[in-house]
Amino acid sequence: DVATSIMANQAMNYLVSGKVPGLMGNAHPNLAPYAVFDCADGWIILATGNDAQYQRLCAILGLDDMARAPQFLTNADRIANREEMTARITQATLGWSTAELLHACEDQGVPAGPINDLAEVFDDPQVQARGMKIAPGGLPGIRSPMTFSDADLALDRPAPKLGEHQDEVLG
């Protein structure tokens, strides 16, 4: 259910058109630029959702000519010319550190996010604030993201070890 529902954009494109989409990696099928880009020290996802955000991204990256170019003016134009657009944006993002570009995007209201390794994920203040890393019984684990209004998660005991029954863990 989850795997099918998270394909909403690609699935709806298929259901509406009857055309099976090709592989796109991390790019969005209906928005551009909305993909992972290389920076000088890592990767960032730029997620422009409208023409105004695209214009602001071009200003940040010093791509004023792209902001006015007819082949990139609208989202439909950018999708039609995705390959050239992506190459030009990547050339620009390579001159930035991820932290600097994220900060610039935040300041200008351009949706962006880091691509973290697992050490960075578990060092993230939001992940820590949400208590996602757990260690019941001294065994490391990840808290379920599901919460229920009338039930607390049992985070004080580990899952049974291989060959062990839950009754033995409960004592």
Interacting residues of 158 by C-beta distance below 8 A, sequence separation 6+: 136, 137, 138, 139, 141, 169
133-134 vs 112-114, strand pairing mode = unpaired
- Cross-strand pairs, 34: 47
Q: How many other C-beta atoms lie within 10 A of the C-beta of residue 97?
A: 13
Catalytic residues, which ones? 28
